[in-house]
Amino acid sequence: MKLTNLQTKILGRNYVFYNEIDSTQSEIWRRIENGIIENGTLVMADIQTAGKGTHGRVWHTNKNNIAFSFYIETNCNTDRLNGITVEIAKIIVDIFREGYNIKLNIKEPNDIMFEDKKICGILTESKMNSEKVKFLVVGIGINIEEQNFTEDIKELATSIKKEFGIEIDRQRFIETFCDRFEERLKERTKK
C-alpha cells in the first residue's frame, strides 16, 4: 500500500510499510534510538504480532485492519498539546461519520467504541525536554476487517465490517487522517 494523495507537508511523507512486524510503535522507537528517523515518519503494518496498547496491553492486528504509528516533532510547551489524544479520536470519529455515515463514540481519552465494544485504540507517547514536548509518537489501531476475536476480548472488541458490513479504503482513511491531524497540530503549535 502507498500513500499517494497526501496533502501534508510532513506527516506521512516518509512512509514505511511492513507486511508483518512486532509493533509499529516499537519500530518508531527503534528508529528514534538509532537516529534514523525523519519528522513525519509513518510506519504501517498489515500484521502486528505484538502491537502495543495502553497500560502494557497487547493490541492484536490481523491482515487488512489499520495499524500505524507516526513520529512528529512538536518542540512546544506541554499546554499546547493538552487533550491531543482526544483530538486524534475526534478526527477519526469525524472521518467515519462523514465518509461512511458510521456513528462511533469516544471513551476518553484513547478508545473509540461502537456501543460498548472497542473498535479503535490510540497510544500517545512523547519525549520531554524541560518544559517542552520534543516529539510525539502516536500509534493507532482500528479494527476494520476483523471478524473473529479471541476469547479474552470477543465481548470487549468489534470491527467496522462486523457491525456495519462496510469496506473501508485504508489508504484514503489514513491520508485523510494525516491531512486533518497535521492541520490541527499546526494550529496548536504555531507561535
pTM metric for this prediction: 0.93
Taking a C-beta distance cutoff of 8 angstroms, is the pair 11, 38 a contact?
Answer: no
d(CA 100, CA 95) in angstroms, rounded, equals 8
Q: What is the pLDDT of residue 54?
A: 56
Q: What integer pLDDT is reported at residue 153 of this predicted model? A: 77
The predicted structure's pLDDT at residue 8: 97
Q: What is the pLDDT of residues 84-131, one digit of tens each?
A: 999 999 999 999 999 999 999 999 999 999 999 999 999 999 999 888
Structural fold of domain 15-189: BirA Bifunctional Protein; domain 2 (3.30.930)
> How sure is the predictor about 48, in pLDDT bands with cuts at 50, 70 and 90?
confident
124, containing H or E segment: strand 117-129
Q: Quick check: 43 pLDDT over 90? A: yes
With 60 as the cut, is the pLDDT of residue 55 above it?
Answer: no
**Residue ranges of domains in the chain:** 15-189
Check residue 1 and give its pLDDT: 80
Largest CA distance in the chain: 49
Considering the chain, what is the average pLDDT of its residues? 91
Q: Which helix (H) or strand (E) segment is 182 a member of?
A: helix 170-189
